[in-house]
């Protein structure tokens, strides 16, 4: 039986990754390489759509970019100087081929392809209204509502139709759109999800992270501003539109903590350097006497280096990770299920036996992996096991394109820090403070009014309306009341 790796589902799931090329030879081949660099943002499915000046061509598949887009015949089937691609981890919509992006439709104005990173928090309400008016949906993805809003808009030009659609949706989005008129890249008014622009010769490139530019040999130009639409016409003209006026940015703070690759640059800051600074601040706030600082690989490594440098405790690799265990693996039976963690992580017994160790990880979600890692250290003979987390407690679910468990399943929602420490059987447990996290990011502290980042997973301070979530709560309350009446 093939099942999801139970040790991966104790992480906040990466959202999605998008990549687009306008005006480049063999654009689809460049997109495929860019998607390889963004594979960490979504491993369930991948897709590429190209435009050859006359027709659109699409190839979508379940699984990784490798194996689906590294064959010559696939790239030859995606001709043209413009292409966009998407790697997906589902946040809204089932896991099936019909939800794999880019989504494509033939509109009155011609072909329309869209790749979306994020989550539309009023998608269900908009969808119900569109269906009532006669729209027929082909997927269960929230992204499809954008296509229908563009198709049914009463505005004259395609750009105005697109802006009209964006003004009817809530939540988080970075989008790359392809039409016969050119390519459009845009971010939501708060800039919750990332998007950057680069150049490769005469070609204009858009990507979720700068690391994708490094892989294809492109130069970073700038970040797409919150609420900005950048249009690249077929003759290479670049235009910027700001239909939302002045906006107050609230980019996702977890990009710095976990989602982005450490070799990416966010707002002119190295992700790797920021994570080291987070680890150093964690050491200042939560010191402990120990023999070694040990990262939980791989996400805890930069923070552990920062913690070790600040504390003076030696950094060591006390946990060795196997890189040959993917998202799924075969489990021969329930009796060996508890051994599964050792398929991915194994203790370096010769190093840690008899030692006091500090484990550094980026977050605790359900707590099941932390429990197993601490247990592994105990079984390998560690004298003391202290855990330090490079983010505040994750107490709230994300509704902006990150697949998090229901709030009731988050360990920090159910237990205080003492209870969490007991649950994972650590000698001590501590998290970086919210102000400490902001300090590591170069801010004096978290602003009380209009904070600098979206940190709702830690604070519950959601920067936009959550229409679908609020409607669901009201519906559940109504159903409970009806049950009581009956």
pLDDT on residue 7? 43
DSSP 251: -
pLDDT of residue 470: 84
Catalytic pick from 16, 186, 252, 454? 16
Name the CA dihedral angle for 67, 69, 71, 76, rounded to a multiple of 10 degrees. 160
Whole-angstrom distance, CA of residue 155 vs CA of residue 163:
9
Q: What is the pLDDT of residue 486?
A: 41
Domains and CATH numbers, the chain: 14-251 (3.60.20.10), 273-453 (3.40.50.2020)
- Distance of alpha carbon 457 from alpha carbon 466, whole angstroms: 14
pLDDT along the chain (486 residues), means of 10: 43 80 94 96 94 96 93 95 91 72 95 96 96 93 96 96 97 97 97 97 97 97 98 96 94 94 95 98 98 94 98 96 58 49 81 98 94 96 98 95 85 97 98 98 95 96 92 50 41
Angle at 329 between CA 325 and CA 334, to 5 degrees: 125
Distance CA 466, CA 472 (A): 10
Q: Which of 212, 207, 178 lies closest to 195 in space, CA to CA?
A: 207
CA dihedral 89, 94, 97, 102 (to 10 degrees): -60
Q: What's the whole-model pTM score? A: 0.90
Residue with token string 């402990």: 288
Gap between the terminal Cα atoms of the chain: 43
Do residues 400 and 117 lie in contact, with contact meaning Cβ atoms separated by under 8 Å?
no
Position 61 scores a pLDDT of: 94
| 186 is a catalytic site residue | no
pLDDT at residue number 157: 95
How far apart (Å, rounded) are the C-alpha atoms in residues 356 and 73? Answer: 55
Task: Give the model's pLDDT for residue 401.
Answer: 83
């Amino acid at each position: 039986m093939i099942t999801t790796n139970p040790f991966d589902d104790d992480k906040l799931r990466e959202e999605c990754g998008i990549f687009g090329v306008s005006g480049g030879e063999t654009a689809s081949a460049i997109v495929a390489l860019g998607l390889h660099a963004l594979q960490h943002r979504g491993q369930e499915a991948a897709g590429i759509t190209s435009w050859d000046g006359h027709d659109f061509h699409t190839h979508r598949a379940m699984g990784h970019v490798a194996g689906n887009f590294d064959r010559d015949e696939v790239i030859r089937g995606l001709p043209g100087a413009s292409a966009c691609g998407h790697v997906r981890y589902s946040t809204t919509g089932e896991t099936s081929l019909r939800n794999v992006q880019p989504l494509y439709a033939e509109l009155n104005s011609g072909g329309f392809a869209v790749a979306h990173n994020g989550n539309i928090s009023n998608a269900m309400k908009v969808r119900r209204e569109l269906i009532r008016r006669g729209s027929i949906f082909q997927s269960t993805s929230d992204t499809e509502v954008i296509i229908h809003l563009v198709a049914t808009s009463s505005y004259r030009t395609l750009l105005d139709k697109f802006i009209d659609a964006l003004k009817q949706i809530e939540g988080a989005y970075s989008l790359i759109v392809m039409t016969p008129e050119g390519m459009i890249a845009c971010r939501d008014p708060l800039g919750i999800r990332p998007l950057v622009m680069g150049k490769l010769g005469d070609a204009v490139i858009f990507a979720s992270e700068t690391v994708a530019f490094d892989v294809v040999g492109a130069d970073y130009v700038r970040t797409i501003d919150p609420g900005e639409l950048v249009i690249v016409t077929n003759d290479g003209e670049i235009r910027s539109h700001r239909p939302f006026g002045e906006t107050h940015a609230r980019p996702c703070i977890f990009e710095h903590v976990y989602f982005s690759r450490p070799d990416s640059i966010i707002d002119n800051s190295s992700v790797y350097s920021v994570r080291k600074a987070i680890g150093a601040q964690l050491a200042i706030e939560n010191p402990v006497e120990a023999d070694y600082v040990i990262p939980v690989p791989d996400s805890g490594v930069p923070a552990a280096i920062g913690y070790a440098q600040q504390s003076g405790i030696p950094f060591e690799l006390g946990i060795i990770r196997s890189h040959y265990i993917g998202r799924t693996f075969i489990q021969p039976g329930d009796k060996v299920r508890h051994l599964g963690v050792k398929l991915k992580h194994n203790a370096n017994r010769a190093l840690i036996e008899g030692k006091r160790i500090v484990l550094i990880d980026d977050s605790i979600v359900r707590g099941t992996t932390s429990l197993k890692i601490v247990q592994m250290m105990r079984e390998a003979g560690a004298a003391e096991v202290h855990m330090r987390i490079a983010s505040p407690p994750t107490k709230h679910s994300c509704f902006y394109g990150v697949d998090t468990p229901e709030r009731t399943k988050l360990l920090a929602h159910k237990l205080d820090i003492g209870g969490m420490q007991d649950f994972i059987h650590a000698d001590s447990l501590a998290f970086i403070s919210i102000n400490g996290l902001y300090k590591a990011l170069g801010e004096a502290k978290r602003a009380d009014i209009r904070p600098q980042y979206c940190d709702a997973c830690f604070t519950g301070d959601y920067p936009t309306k959550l229409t679908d979530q609020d409607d669901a709560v009201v519906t559940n309350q109504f159903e409970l009341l009806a049950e009581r009446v009956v």
